[in-house]
Amino acid sequence: MTEDLLGRHRAVLPDWLALYYQDPLEITHGEGRHVWDAEGNKYLDFFGGILTTMTAHALPEITKAVSEQAGRIIHSSTLYLNRPMVELAERIAQLSGIPDARVFFTTSGTEANDTALMLATTYRRSNTILAMRNSYHGRSFSAVGITGNRGWSPTSLSPLQTLYVHGGVRTRGPYASLGDDDFIAACVDDLKDLLGHTRPPAALIAEPIQGVGGFTSPPDGLYAAFREVLDEHGILWIADEVQTGWGRTGDHFWGWQAHDRSGPPDILTFAKGIGNGMSIGGVVARAEIMNCLDSNSISTFGGTQITMAAGLANLTYLLEHDLQGNARRVGGLLIERLRAVAAQVPGVREVRGRGLMLGVELVKPGTDEADPQAASAVLEAARAEGLLLGKGGGHNTSALRIAPPLSLTVAEAEEGAAILEHALRSTIQ
């Protein structure tokens, strides 16, 4: 059945829609941290948490809120007063840490970043943007234009002038051997060097931990050090929290807080999991920045009552159940367990990340060379044993990405780690 669907998929959908697995999966339903495919196979989902389902699959509290709202009204989100949108905006404004915050809802992370770029360029009257090497910010024309990860940047044309800053990765290359302080100093020098050769940029956009880039964590303090330089020039800081927000990193509610000497960003973007599968994206900015646009700008589906109902139910659940604390505790156990495995499997170069956002970087054993084939093989082997993982990384997708729903239990973390260990040992010789 899945095979037939694959043929039909290939016949009508674009070639550039990448599917995981040689025999792609059709996921038909889920519950908690598990999903099932069309053939009835059950999988522990170590990736869906960052894609869509931040909290848990088919969570009754959210299903109820969504179906009740669907039975009441879904109408224009912006032309009339919209109570769930106001309520969710109030909560996000308060949680964001941004003073005098205004919130605008979109339907995706791409549209959120696009809006952030429109705000920053208009506010600063500059179409030059600083972005990080290896970054990913979405698929619209302007978001692609600031995406440093060339594997995810399908056109080289851009309406923006983009300058790429070092700081995202130090797995290999000239910065690989540097300690944290020297790495930060080298990246700050690189930033200063760029600023010396350009018109004043509007903003630096950065993911506190790079997502598509393979869950690479810059050292704490990197963005605080950048911020000092940016502030001297009045350049805005846009934190793309599409993957790092809502407690996923365990120690912090937002990824930027790991760099908190930098203070809150000028603009923060979010998306993915906050709707637990319903499409919510958004931008938070100080009022003077949010209100700098010249005329009306609405989004038909951004902030619809049904997505806002999902967001409110999801946010309530995750705060009441302290899922940030769960990410810290369970993620802490998981990273320890995986680092112990890494010490014994020669092809695992590092296990990195925070909370329930962990990356496992694979190299050809005994070398520093990225091993994307090994990453694909481990992904397949884990799937065969009932575990879904993600892949990511710079030019080579040589990192495994682990991002389960935030309600992951200790027993499930142990089960997933055991499968992953077996998949690594059986794949990497």
Q: How far is the CB of 404 from ligand PMP (least distance, A)?
A: 16
Q: How far is the CB of 426 from ligand PMP (least distance, A)?
A: 30
Of 137 and 248, which CB lies nearer to ligand PMP in the complex structure?
A: 137
Q: Which of 98, 215, 223, 240 binds ligand PMP (CB under 6 A)?
A: 240
Q: How far is the CB of 143 from ligand PMP (least distance, A)?
A: 7
From 136-144, 319-327, 335-343, 402-410, span contacting ligand PMP (CB under 6 A): 136-144
Of 207 and 412, which CB lies nearer to ligand PMP in the complex structure?
A: 207
Q: Which of 145, 148, 208, 211 binds ligand PMP (CB under 6 A)?
A: 211
Q: How far is the CB of 235 from ligand PMP (least distance, A)?
A: 20
Q: Which of 59, 120, 188, 212 binds ligand PMP (CB under 6 A)?
A: 212
Of 207 and 361, which CB lies nearer to ligand PMP in the complex structure?
A: 207
> Between 279 and 318, how does the x/- string for binding to ligand PMP read (CB under 6 A)?
--x-------------------------------------
From 1-9, 204-212, 245-253, 413-421, span contacting ligand PMP (CB under 6 A): 204-212
Q: How far is the CB of 242 from ligand PMP (least distance, A)?
A: 4
CB 50 within 8 A of CB 403: yes
Q: Which of 45, 114, 207, 412 binds ligand PMP (CB under 6 A)?
A: 207
Q: Which of 33, 57, 124, 137 binds ligand PMP (CB under 6 A)?
A: 137
Site for ligand PMP contains 85 (CB under 6 A): no
CB 278 within 8 A of CB 312: no
Q: Kindly list the residues in this chain that would bind ligand PMP in the complex (CB under 6 A).
A: 108-110, 113, 136-138, 207, 211-212, 240, 242-243, 271, 281
